[in-house]
Amino acid sequence: MFETLEDVREDLTRRLVRAAKDRRSPMHVPAVITSDVDARIMVLREFYSDQWTLRFHTDTRAPKVTAIKDDPRMAVLFYDKGAKIQIRAKGKGRVLADDPLTQEAWDKGTNFARRCYLGDGPGTASDTPTSGLPDEFEGHEPSDEQLIPARENFAILMVDLVELDWLYLAHTGHVRAQFTRDDSGAWCGRWVSP
pLDDT at 75 (0 to 100): 98
Span 136-152, pLDDT tens digits: 898 889 999 999 999 99
| Residue 1 scores a pLDDT above 80 | no
Task: Tell me the CATH number at 53.
Answer: 2.30.110.10
**pLDDT tens profile 176-188:** 999 999 989 899 9
- Where are any strands of DSSP class E within 36-174? 39-41, 46-48, 53-59, 73-80, 85-96, 154-168
pLDDT of residue 135: 87
Instruction: Report the first-to-last Cα separation within the chain, whole angstroms.
Output: 17
Q: DSSP characters for 112-147?
A: HHHGGGGSPPTT---SS------GGGTT-PPPTTTT
Domain total of the chain:
1
pLDDT band at 49 (very low <50, low <70, confident <90, very high): very high
Q: Which residue has the higher pLDDT, 66 or 134?
A: 66
Range of the domain at 154: 5-192
